[in-house]
Structure 1
Amino acid sequence: MAESVAKQAGMEGNLQRHVAPTSSLNLMKLRTFVITFTTYATFHVARKSFSSIKGELSRELWMVSSLTSQSNMYGLMDMVFLGFYAVGLYVSGMLGDRLDLRKFLAGGMVGVALVLVAFGVAGLANIHFFWFYLVLWGINGAVQSVGWPANVAIMSRWFGQGERGLVLGLWSSCSSFGNICGGALVSILYGLADPTLAWKLVMLASGSFMLMQSAIVYAFLVPVPPKPHLHDDTDVQEASSKAAIDEDDMCAPAGISFSRAWMIPGVASYAVAYACVKSVSYSLFFWVPYYLTAARHMDNAKANLFSILYDVGALVGSVVGGYVTDRMGGRRSLYIVSSLCLAGLDMQFLFGATEHMTGILLFLTGILMGGPEMLITTTISADLGTHASLAKNAQALATVTGIIDGTGSIGAALAQYVVGRIANCHSVCEDTALTDLTPRVCPTTCAWDSVFFMLQGCVVVGMLSLSGLVVQETRAAWHLPGNKLQHRPVLQSDDDDEDASLWHESKISGPDTPGSSASCGSPVSSTTADDTSSEAGSLKHRV
């Protein structure tokens, strides 16, 4: 009896030694959260830079080309940026599942920094050739595509499926946070320098921040959690440092084919929905400052402060969306459709509103659009990347994320060109000068009412693309025990909850996620395989 007790105590001691301390893992999770959050926020600071200086570029008639309409030139630049960004997302998503994410992400950030600095230097050098800036902005879109799939894949490896709703909801507010910081940066520089110089400083400052953040990523980011067989805190810290410096000894993930990722249930529907959501979101992101300067006759500093209200609303909406859908039992498509419906109604009153009401409506629109955008690109992408149908190959997080965000970017790219064409902004000069010393008045006129009508149409299409999933979730809410949905495992009985969750964590999450007991490249014993097989038989996955 004593021998059996001693043997059991020894086994428990060995088990405890083979599990990394929770406190160390939580600190490492926090560090990963902060680094990835600030990293992608920096990406959005870079994107906000160009959308915030359109008004000044239009006043200076800076870019010279055969295109007579300023909105056509800016719309074409936005389309090229998002077009290259979309194509790059498909490639970056697949590479992200196969390469060292730390080096891959840092390298992309250096590329973005160089493009932004080149844009600012070209302004200081008085280069007005439109096609030069167009090519430069296309390169910017391609290298910026590295950011989202890599960051989402890293976050999904560190945080399990049960905590992704709220955690990724908080984390995805990094885009809105970056937009806010970018708008604030523009307002500060426009207040400190002459507008003709300020927009050039905006591009140089954005590039400098991106370069500094890339150094932080390369030095401190740990893309995968430590192996669960580490012994103590010292081992955890040593493994973290080693992972941040050299990961050549790690086993490369298996990855998944591009066509196979499209066949995952729900990927196509959410990809189409996100194309519509991102078209609306990025149209407001790229064009609201220009709309406020052209239609509301605001100066650049004030217009950027108003545009920040939309970003603040999106930040609030991303957090609220994650929390509410977790409380709803994961019925995310139902929440997305409801939120989009309200957003469409909100945009009906945005055009032509008073100045104060414009600020209120921009904030409300940000809340209603921020939730769906966050859910599709983070929580839903992570869930689909670990779908039950991928039980034998769960290394698809970056690929699925790249597909969904890439498809959304294609839709957004086309939308930017359409917005520029529909708006058809052009200056109408009035010969009202009393003397030769009095400058002529050349107000800018645009068809903004047609633009907002087009955005409402995109919202309707996005709602229709998710209608089938809404029906499934509604039926699941009434008929399935525990309100478990089709992309999550449905347990046969409550008694199996603990064993099933353990099997799901180890089997679905893969060796590079918390909770996995198999280290990379380690053989699995026949006993373990048999146990896993028997536990798998106790689960029923609803697809």
Structure 2
Amino acid sequence: MTILSKHLRKILCLRMEGKHLRFWQWIVFGVLWLAYGSTYLLRKPLGVIKADLESGLNVSSAILGWVDTALLLPYAAVSLTLGSVGDRLGSRVTLAGGLILAAAATAPMTVCQSLSSLLTLLAFSGASQALCWPACCALLSRWFSDASRNSVFGMFGTCCFVFGMAGTGLAVYLQDAYGWRSVFLPPAMVVTILGVIVFEIGRDPSERGLVVPGRAANQHVPQNKTSTESKMSMMAVWKVTLVPEVSIAMFCVKFVRYALMFWLPFYLLRSLNYSKINAGLASTAFELGGVAGSAFVGVVVDHWMKGRAILTSALAVSGSALALLAFIATASWGPIFHVIFLALVGALNCGPDILLCGSVSADIGEREGGAASAVTGVVNGMGSLGTVLEGPLVSLVAAWFGWSSMMPLMILLSCLGAIAAFRANSIHSRIEGRVKLSSMDTVP
């Protein structure tokens, strides 16, 4: 009886611990979802107020491209060079600090009277926001098993597009009701509050006395010790198998995503004669599709594609190019078809975005002996370079060839990204084949 009672107590303790773990998994997932998503409240107004910036600050369309660059160039630079900050300071402190600093740089934009002051504040905001994604990924991965990685990251990625839509809607309302200068302060207040919440709640499982089953590394590397990933330089990471191909694909995917995110309202206004309000609202179809694509891409990979995330990404990016081509072909059919194809482009572009800089990068890094954060930083940094170049290149192409040339440029880059992803899948398949052969040879 004593042995039986001990066994029952052990079972009850395990069940209680499992419920406690699930409770905190939901809490941490929700806090991180809100926290990282809120950064899009700071970014999205730039796509809505471009026409007002053009007239209010008396700048040309070509110069407007540098508004995006001022935000995204520091973002890319910090992503590529300071990805290990989270390893030294801790994910919780890094994420909370990045949010609060970004909000502090955004709030004063309300009173900017010149383009130079706006660009300076955007640079500080972009550099601060760059700290958030690696810290979010690192903290999130510690709370969930390896087997659920694709599905968890897919669902987590919906925050970018839900908050993208919310950011556009809020900016459209504030712009119409109070003028373009009003679009910065309310988002900054929200982000500050979430930064404080992250600092209070965003702790590792080990800090709460919990162990996550099904993780290859349940013991988190202490912050005062140097991990493998923090030792790898950017050039060393670039030489890792699959990193160049995945990085190029990420560059193209993110270029297209941010070009549509920042320029789609302006494109609809200038090329298809939408009003300011309707252009802003119609552009949210892209984010709406992104929500669906991000939410289901992990499920598709895990349940129908047998874990082949790179192949899924290649097929989806190819589909996004076809959807953009259909958008151009049906441009004269009216807003309903515009919204349908923009939503389809969003789903097929944004799903691979989450996979390539999330589960795919983490998997490549772990094959190199625990360099997941290093690889994720480089791949995401290369994607960020795409976001840096989209502003000047889109504005330059539009100045030379007119706004109707924007969508063919998006198609070209989507095709290039698909080619890089298919090449990565081919290399990955060969590696998997050699691993299987070697394992068969060792069987007695």
Q: TM-score, normalised by structure 1?
A: 0.72
Are 1:186 and 1:301, in contact at CA under 8 Å, matched by a contact in 2? no
Q: In 2 relative to 1, CA 250–75 (structure 1 residues): closer, same or farther, beyond 3 Å? A: closer
Instruction: Write the distance in 1 (CA, Å) between the matches of 2:97 and 2:128.
Output: 9
Are 2:271 and 2:404, in contact at CA under 8 Å, matched by a contact in 1? no
Match of 1:450 in 2: 405
C-alpha offsets along residues 382-437 of structure 1, whole Å, 9 cap, x if unaligned?
A: 222322x30xxx2x333222211111111221122110111119xxxxxxxxxxxx
Match of 2:202 in 1: 221
Which range moved further: 458-467 or 104-113?
A: 458-467
**Secondary structure of the corresponding residue to residue 97 of structure 1:** helix
Are 1:347 and 1:452, in contact at CA under 8 Å, matched by a contact in 2? yes
Are 1:76 and 1:420, in contact at CA under 8 Å, matched by a contact in 2? no
**Secondary structure of the corresponding residue to residue 184 of structure 2:** helix
One of 288, 295, 303 as aligned partner of 1:319: 295
C-alpha offsets along residues 133-190 of structure 1, whole Å, 9 cap, x if unaligned?
A: 2222222211110111111111111122200111111011110011011012123324
Instruction: Write the distance in 1 (CA, Å) between the matches of 2:31 and 2:353.
Output: 21
Match of 1:347 in 2: 324
Q: In 2 relative to 1, CA 253–186 (structure 1 residues): closer, same or farther, beyond 3 Å? A: same
One of 269, 274, 278 as aligned partner of 2:250: 274
Could you tell me how far 1:282 is from its partner in structure 2? 0.6
Residues 1:112 and 2:108 aligned together: no
Match of 2:308 in 1: 331
Instruction: Write the distance in 2 (CA, Å) between the matches of 1:155 and 1:263.
Output: 27
Match of 2:135 in 1: 150
Give the 5 Å matches for 1:235-274: 251-252=224-225, 254=227, 255-258=230-233, 259-274=235-250
Are 2:175 and 2:182, in contact at CA under 8 Å, matched by a contact in 1? no
Are 2:31 and 2:202, in contact at CA under 8 Å, matched by a contact in 1? yes
Instruction: Write the distance in 2 (CA, Å) between the matches of 1:229 and 1:490.
Output: 41
Are 1:276 and 1:412, in contact at CA under 8 Å, matched by a contact in 2? no
Are 1:161 and 1:383, in contact at CA under 8 Å, matched by a contact in 2? no
Count how many residue pairs are aligned between Structure 1 and Structure 2: 426
RMSD: 3.1
Match of 1:56 in 2: 52
Could you tell me how far 1:15 is from its partner in structure 2? 11
Q: Unaligned 5+ residue runs, structure 2?
A: 212-219
Give the 5 Å matches for 1:56-135: 56-58=52-54, 61-64=55-58, 69=60, 71-122=61-112, 127=113, 129-135=114-120
C-alpha offsets along residues 6-29 of structure 1, whole Å, 9 cap, x if unaligned?
A: 7x9989989997998111111111
Amino acid at match of 2:345: T
Instruction: Write the distance in 1 (CA, Å) between the matches of 2:8 and 2:248.
Output: 50
Could you tell me how far 1:99 is from its partner in structure 2? 1.7
Residues 1:468 and 2:423 aligned together: yes
**Secondary structure of the corresponding residue to residue 44 of structure 2:** helix
Are 2:33 and 2:159, in contact at CA under 8 Å, matched by a contact in 1? yes
Instruction: Write the distance in 2 (CA, Å) between the matches of 1:331 and 1:403.
Output: 21
Residues 1:47 and 2:43 aligned together: yes
Match of 1:180 in 2: 165
Could you tell me how far 1:35 is from its partner in structure 2? 0.6
Match of 2:268 in 1: 292
Q: In 2 relative to 1, CA 312–139 (structure 1 residues): closer, same or farther, beyond 3 Å? A: same
Residues 1:162 and 2:147 aligned together: yes
Are 2:150 and 2:302, in contact at CA under 8 Å, matched by a contact in 1? yes
Are 2:94 and 2:132, in contact at CA under 8 Å, matched by a contact in 1? no
One of 185, 189, 194 as aligned partner of 1:208: 189
Match of 2:383 in 1: 408
Amino acid at match of 2:242: G
**Secondary structure of the corresponding residue to residue 330 of structure 1:** coil
Match of 1:529 in 2: none
**Secondary structure of the corresponding residue to residue 272 of structure 2:** coil
Q: In 2 relative to 1, CA 491–172 (structure 1 residues): closer, same or farther, beyond 3 Å? A: farther
Match of 1:136 in 2: 121
C-alpha offsets along residues 434-467 of structure 1, whole Å, 9 cap, x if unaligned?
A: xxxxxxxxxxxx7123222221121122122223
Instruction: Write the distance in 1 (CA, Å) between the matches of 2:18 and 2:437.
Output: 28
Instruction: Write the distance in 2 (CA, Å) between the matches of 1:291 and 1:72.
Output: 14
Amino acid at match of 1:467: F
Q: In 2 relative to 1, CA 103–371 (structure 1 residues): closer, same or farther, beyond 3 Å? A: same
Instruction: Write the distance in 1 (CA, Å) between the matches of 2:341 and 2:347.
Output: 10
Match of 1:496 in 2: none
Are 1:99 and 1:252, in contact at CA under 8 Å, matched by a contact in 2? no
Identity %: 26
Higher share in helix:
2
Instruction: Write the distance in 1 (CA, Å) between the matches of 2:424 and 2:51.
Output: 41
Match of 2:17 in 1: 21
Could you tell me how far 1:265 is from its partner in structure 2? 2.4
C-alpha offsets along residues 465-511 of structure 1, whole Å, 9 cap, x if unaligned?
A: 2233322455689x69xxxxx7xx99959xxxxxxxxxxxxxxxxxx
Instruction: Write the distance in 1 (CA, Å) between the matches of 2:437 and 2:160.
Output: 33
Instruction: Write the distance in 1 (CA, Å) between the matches of 2:394 and 2:183.
Output: 25
Instruction: Write the distance in 1 (CA, Å) between the matches of 2:51 and 2:295.
Output: 31
Match of 1:420 in 2: 395
Q: TM-score, normalised by structure 2?
A: 0.87
Could you tell me how far 1:313 is from its partner in structure 2? 0.1
Are 1:381 and 1:401, in contact at CA under 8 Å, matched by a contact in 2? yes
C-alpha offsets along residues 353-379 of structure 1, whole Å, 9 cap, x if unaligned?
A: 432211111111111101111111211
Q: Rg: which structure is higher?
A: 1
